[in-house]
Every structure is written in C-alpha cells, then in structure tokens.
Chain A
Amino acid sequence: MAGLLDQRREDRDEAEIPTAGMADIAFLLLIFFLVTTTINVDTGIGMTLPPKLDPNQKPPPVKERNLFKILVNAQGDLLIEEEPASIGQLRRRVKAHVTNYGENPDLAVSPDKAVISIKTDAQTPYDTYVEVLDEVWMAYREIWDSIARSGQTPQGDDVGLDQTYSSYQEYYNTLDPGDDNKIRDAFGAQISIAEPDTGE
C-alpha cells in the first residue's frame, strides 16, 4: 500500500499556488490607494500669540513713532495710522515704516523696534483680516527677499550669509530645523494682534 502511494506521489507534479493572478490583485489595490491618497501639505500664515497678560503688569510701552497701527472696521475698511487708506497701499507703507532707520521722525527708529499692530472689530470679515495680515507679511517677505539676494540689510549691514539666494524662500529651504535664520535674526518681524476690546 505504502509503495503504491509513493509511486503515485512521484508521478504527480509538485503542487503550486498559481501566482499569475497575484499581480492583478496587487494592481487593483495599488490603484485603490493611488486614487484615495491625497498628499496635501497644510499651508497657512503662521503667527505666535502673545502670552497671557498678567493683570497686575502693564504691557511694555511702545513709542508712538515705532507703532504702525492698522485698524479694520466691520465693513472691511482700513485705517492706517489714523487715516483712511486702501489695502493696496498697505505693503508699501509697512515697508517704508520698518526700513525707515530713524530718518523720518514719524516712522520707526529701527526695524527691531518697529511694531505692526492690527486691530479688528468684532464684525470684521475674517478674509479681510487675513488679507491685511498677508499684506504685512508680504512686506516683510519682500524685504527678506532683497536681503537674501544681496546679503545685506536695507541699511547696508552684512547679514553673514555664505552665499546669496534668489529669494528668501530658497534660503529658508536650506535651513535645517534648529538652525539660526540669519535673515530673520537681522531683520525680525513684530506683528501684534491687538487685544480685543472687552467692551469697557
């Protein structure tokens, strides 16, 4: 009996799982994941909120000339330094303010002392606020771009870059996490979101 079984086994081909359809199955799964994958990177305007106010401590005083006040009302109209203005002028005026270096007595003494303050009304549309914030950031971006291209601040100080870059973004991309951002160290941005009125 055993001999007969052995005989039979020898005659048979070796058993195999057919793998021809494997590629098809894998392709099907692949297509499913290809279709469902969304590689979306979160983009946005980064801000740092001021820390919680100590009620016993007054906020540090900022000289009037260093402060660049932007008010946005419920209709989305702008008031720049107490004068009605349009959003198109904002970028140019912010740049003039922060790159003043003490020249004009009404504008900032130096870039690191300049503060851009944005104040909104309760009914201000959010997209107007983002638009204003974006313009202010773009003013700084344009200054940073020129620093990246020339390696010098608008006043002519050397920033200490190893090479020049075509834009600030290109320089930023070369930085590793934890590296010092030399451009921002030399020309920082102070944007303040004003405390909302508490109705007092």
Chain B
Amino acid sequence: MSKFQRGSSDTEPEFTTASLPDIVFMLLIFFMVSTVMREQNIKVRTQLPQAEALTKIDQKRLISKIHIGPLKKGENEGQTAIQIDDALIENRRAIRNIMYNKLQEQPKLIASLKVDQESEMEIVNEVQQELREAGALRINYSSNREGPPGGNN
C-alpha cells in the first residue's frame, strides 16, 4: 500500500516529444525534395492511349515532352496543336531547331510524345519527320497501363 502511495506521488509519466519535430522535419525535407511542381502549363488536351508493352523512363532529366492534341481553350479551341515546353508551336518547321538545341544540351534525350488518342497519324508523322531532321531519334509514345481509364496528364 505504501508503495502505491509513493508511486502516485511521482510526476505523471509522459512520452518525450522533444524529437518529434526532428522526425517531422526529416519527412518534410524528403517530400520537399521529391516534389516536382508542375512547371508546365499544358494548353492542349492529351488523353493518352492505353498499352501493355510499357517501359518506364527512370531518368526524368532525359525526357523532353511534346504534347499533341486539341487546344483546351482560345479562339481555335479544339484545333490540333503541338506544344513543346510552355509554348505552342506555330510553325512546325521550327520543331527541328528546338529539338536540335535540346539535343545539344542533352545528347541522350528521349522525346516523349504525349499524343491525344483521337489524333490522326498525319501530325504524328510530321513531328517524327522533324525529330529525324533534328537527329532526336529516341522517342517514347507515352501511354497508360491498360485497365482503369487513363488520367489526363
């Protein structure tokens, strides 16, 4: 009985929460570093096709995205357009110069073609011819895994 008395007179037991901020900060820093803010404002709608024989591109640095699809808004809404980086390509002949310059910076460049599934092959062929002119021969037809309906990215 007396032992009980002594125990209850002690200060209340508590978890040490002193290192909690450290743990949280560590997680925070991890997520801050791994987060890639979407730097591009995509002006064309690209509903990607679905495929089975997919390969992953692990090295994000090598990728250069080319978006092909109908314009989301503006006076020419619905018209098929090409977007590289932030800019819509007005003159398709300009693609070879853009891609050539990119290839000089990154010789192992992979051109990731994000093409809307309702596009026609004409524009894809045209872009491919431009890529050949530029010498950017590694391409990737971006597609989603078969199954759930594809995201819009």
Contact = CB atoms under 8 A, between A and B. Distances in A.
Interface of A: 19, 22-23, 26-27, 29-30, 33-34, 36-52, 120-127, 129-131, 133-134, 137-138, 140-141, 193, 196
B30 to A, nearest CB: 9
14 contacts: A26-B21, A42-B63, A42-B112, A42-B140, A43-B54, A43-B143, A45-B141, A120-B125, A122-B125, A123-B122, A126-B117, A130-B141, A134-B143, A137-B52
A137 B53 CA distance: 6
Interface of A is mostly: mixed
A193 B141 contact: no
Given A40-B153, A121-B121, A123-B120, A49 B137 contact: yes
A44 B35 CA distance: 22
Interface in B10-63: 17, 20-21, 24-25, 27-28, 31-32, 34-37, 49-58, 60, 63
Contacts of A196: 121-122, 125, 129
Give chain B's interface residue range (CB within 8 Å of chain A).
35 or more
A126 B120 contact: yes
B78 interface: no
B120 A127 contact: no
